[in-house]
Chain A
């Protein structure tokens, strides 16, 4: 039988009329509905005011960095999906770019545009989730439903390209898994039209809403100096008036060729962060639309000449020695290989046989292709970057997402380290909430947009 709990235990130390300390300790989480994911915040309260707070993380630690060291370089890509699971494409591309930097290869133009377009769509998804969830916790459930609706339109786009909604594993070292499907641009513009309508509605519901403003303005603020000292990047840094964005400061892919702005605010409170995120979604759509319009490589999925044959017949022809012109013959591939047919494959991947798997037509249809394939997937072979190290940063939805990779020249990463963008703001959370009310913890925590997967790795 369990021991009887005492009243002191229920009410906290110092409860009642006796002496003793005047503060009580309240733990929020790890399984609290407002702690997106699992995290524990220990607070010390004087009445309703937070005197001290301490953050405990690690509940979602899955040994990402250790796991990466166990398999070939490409094996880490599915693990990166599970870092920031609201915008997994950005993680994929960040990791791939770090390895590409280590290899010293440059991806194709078309691939750069595709990565930009998909990164921006992911960024919008992330901001929609962040604002929707924070608004819901302040009682605006409608906003949450609207925003999840908008996110659904975007996830449908992502599903169409990658074949999955969340665990997309779409990036490849040296390229991407598949080209964009036909008609993607039109569907993207249609989805953006609906997202813009939602954002407009949300602006009318929240921006200027008395209740929302009361909970957000002046709450959770951090000074400019402290934000920088804590190494905070992303929307939280831009909310204190520092226009730092990796896409602008150290442009990668084709961000320097596109016309867009870095939205900033001065106040540094939750409301400023909300405004920055709302403005960034519009900029992301601008970027994606421009990139889509300038996408090189002509229309998507050009029909290859000739009649497609099925792979079994193709292999039979090869076995019978009827190989003349066989390599040029297109074959019908399984639907889950759509977008990686030979012409599409060449458009989005680097022509480097040491890095990128050959198109399936080559693997099935020629001994050279088959050997090339095996040389990349066999244990002990595969992608072997020269010994060295590289750090590559992309602008994730929450700030600078960096990958530090070390190679010893073998086919396995010697070390992969991820610099998660939401770790610094979580470390600074106590500074944001101390002296504020316990209820202010919820919107402040929401404005950080902590993602357990990337925080705990």
Chain B
């Protein structure tokens, strides 16, 4: 299915839940409301015409220093989907504010979401409601802060941990 047709199908089925759609450099993107995110993801997976059976990636972007977007919702959580059956891709995004950085977890749909969401929590401090085990993935529990946020300075020192010798 062509990217534009995917976006139209989603818009037709979910109406207001699709906040915005665009195609840039051949990548088709839909921005979804947080309330309907899981419904949209489930439909993407189960709808015969879409059949996105693979969750390729979950990541986030901190837009707090992006020219023109400083005042909008701070984070965007980005999902990349791929369909083995139809060989097409889709990018879904959901916007969350700094005060309430919570997104429903997709672990129930794809088991790989477990690790991918742990990484997003680790790097951005965005929580995933319903995640069974939301621990840091790449960093250690004693680490203070979330380093991929734009206000985390690159040269901040972290306390050394480990057994005292």
Contact in complex: A230, B57 (CB < 8 Å): no
CB < 8 Å neighbour of A61 from B27, B78, B138 = B138
Given the complex of chains A and B, what is the CA–CA distance between A34 and B53 in angstroms?
33
Instruction: Report the nearest B residue to A60, measured CB to CB.
Output: B138
A188 at the interface (CB under 8 A from B): no
Contact in complex: A228, B57 (CB < 8 Å): no
Contact in complex: B61, A249 (CB < 8 Å): no
- B 92-139 contacts with A by CB, 8 A: 110-112, 114-116, 123, 136-139
Provide the residues of chain A in CB contact with B26, threshold 8 Å: 101
Given A65-B148, A249-B87, A457-B138, A231 and B54 touching (CB < 8 A)? Answer: yes
Given the complex of chains A and B, what is the CA–CA distance between A244 and B82 in angstroms?
11
- A 401-434 contacts with B by CB, 8 A: 402, 404, 406, 408-409, 414-415, 417, 419, 423-424, 426-428
Instruction: Report the nearest B residue to A410, measured CB to CB.
Output: B67
Provide the residues of chain B in CB contact with A233, threshold 8 Å: 54
Q: How far is the CB of B125 from chain A (nearest CB, A)?
A: 14
Provide the residues of chain B in CB contact with A228, threshold 8 Å: 53-54, 84
Residues 72-114 of chain A: 1 if any B CB is under 8 Å from the residue's CB, otherwise 0? 0000000000000000000000000000011010000000000
Contact in complex: B80, A427 (CB < 8 Å): no
Q: How far is the CB of A368 from chain B (nearest CB, A)?
A: 30
Contact in complex: B139, A427 (CB < 8 Å): no
Instruction: Report the nearest A residue to B87, measured CB to CB.
Output: A249
Residues 60-94 of chain B: 1 if any A CB is under 8 Å from the residue's CB, otherwise 0? 01100111000000000010100010010101000
Contact in complex: A414, B111 (CB < 8 Å): no
Contact in complex: B25, A102 (CB < 8 Å): yes
CB < 8 Å A-B pair total: 98
Contact in complex: B139, A61 (CB < 8 Å): yes
Given A231-B110, A389-B24, A419-B57, A66 and B148 touching (CB < 8 A)? Answer: yes
B59 at the interface (CB under 8 A from A): yes
Given A61-B139, A390-B24, A242 and B57 touching (CB < 8 A)? Answer: no
**Best-surrounded residue of A66, A101, A104, A229 (most CB of chain B within 10 A):** A229
Contact in complex: B112, A424 (CB < 8 Å): yes
Given A408-B67, A414-B66, A423-B115, A456 and B53 touching (CB < 8 A)? Answer: no
CB < 8 Å neighbour of B138 from A57, A102, A226, A390 = A57
Given the complex of chains A and B, what is the CA–CA distance between A391 and B112 in angstroms?
19
Given the complex of chains A and B, what is the CA–CA distance between A442 and B65 in angstroms?
45
Contact in complex: B138, A231 (CB < 8 Å): no
Instruction: Report the nearest B residue to A424, measured CB to CB.
Output: B112
CB < 8 Å neighbour of B112 from A231, A242, A389, A414 = A231
A250 at the interface (CB under 8 A from B): yes
Contact in complex: B138, A402 (CB < 8 Å): no
Contact in complex: A402, B24 (CB < 8 Å): no
A400 at the interface (CB under 8 A from B): yes
Contact in complex: A244, B80 (CB < 8 Å): no
A388 at the interface (CB under 8 A from B): yes
Contact in complex: B138, A415 (CB < 8 Å): no
A58 at the interface (CB under 8 A from B): yes
Contact in complex: A58, B139 (CB < 8 Å): yes
Provide the residues of chain A in CB contact with B87, threshold 8 Å: 249-250
CB < 8 Å neighbour of A414 from B61, B78, B89 = B61
Q: How far is the CB of B132 from chain A (nearest CB, A)?
A: 13
A142 at the interface (CB under 8 A from B): no
Provide the residues of chain B in CB contact with A457, threshold 8 Å: 138
Given the complex of chains A and B, what is the CA–CA distance between A415 and B66 in angstroms?
10
Given the complex of chains A and B, what is the CA–CA distance between A101 and B25 in angstroms?
7
CB < 8 Å neighbour of B27 from A67, A390, A419, A428 = A390
Given the complex of chains A and B, what is the CA–CA distance between A230 and B29 in angstroms?
22
Contact in complex: B57, A57 (CB < 8 Å): no
- A 209-224 contacts with B by CB, 8 A: none
Provide the residues of chain A in CB contact with B148, threshold 8 Å: 65-66
Provide the residues of chain B in CB contact with A207, threshold 8 Å: none
A323 at the interface (CB under 8 A from B): no
**Best-surrounded residue of B25, B56, B59 (most CB of chain A within 10 A):** B25
Q: How far is the CB of A65 from chain B (nearest CB, A)?
A: 6
Given the complex of chains A and B, what is the CA–CA distance between A216 and B56 in angstroms?
28
Given A66-B148, A409-B67, A404 and B80 touching (CB < 8 A)? Answer: yes
Provide the residues of chain B in CB contact with A244, threshold 8 Å: 84
Contact in complex: A391, B115 (CB < 8 Å): no
Contact in complex: B138, A456 (CB < 8 Å): yes
Instruction: Report the nearest B residue to A70, measured CB to CB.
Output: B154
- A 47-78 contacts with B by CB, 8 A: 57-58, 61, 63, 65-67, 70
Given the complex of chains A and B, what is the CA–CA distance between A359 and B138 in angstroms?
41
Contact in complex: A104, B25 (CB < 8 Å): yes
CB < 8 Å neighbour of A57 from B27, B91, B137, B154 = B137
Instruction: Report the nearest B residue to A393, measured CB to CB.
Output: B56
Provide the residues of chain B in CB contact with A66, threshold 8 Å: 147-148, 152, 154
Given the complex of chains A and B, what is the CA–CA distance between A104 and B138 in angstroms?
33
Q: How far is the CB of B115 from chain A (nearest CB, A)?
A: 4
Given the complex of chains A and B, what is the CA–CA distance between A406 and B27 in angstroms?
13
Provide the residues of chain B in CB contact with A387, threshold 8 Å: 67
**Could you name 11 residue pairs across A and B whose Cβ atoms are closer than 8 Å?**
A104-B25, A229-B53, A229-B111, A230-B110, A231-B55, A249-B87, A389-B24, A402-B80, A414-B61, A415-B62, A423-B115
Task: List the 7 closest pairs (A to B, CB-CB), nearest first.
Answer: A58-B138, A427-B115, A231-B112, A419-B57, A61-B138, A417-B59, A230-B112
- What residues make up the interface of B, taking CB atoms closer than 8 Å to A? 24-27, 29, 53-57, 59, 61-62, 65-67, 78, 80, 84, 87, 89, 91, 110-112, 114-116, 123, 136-140, 147-148, 152, 154
Known: A58-B140, A66-B147. 4 other contacts (CB 8 A): A61-B138, A391-B57, A402-B57, A419-B56
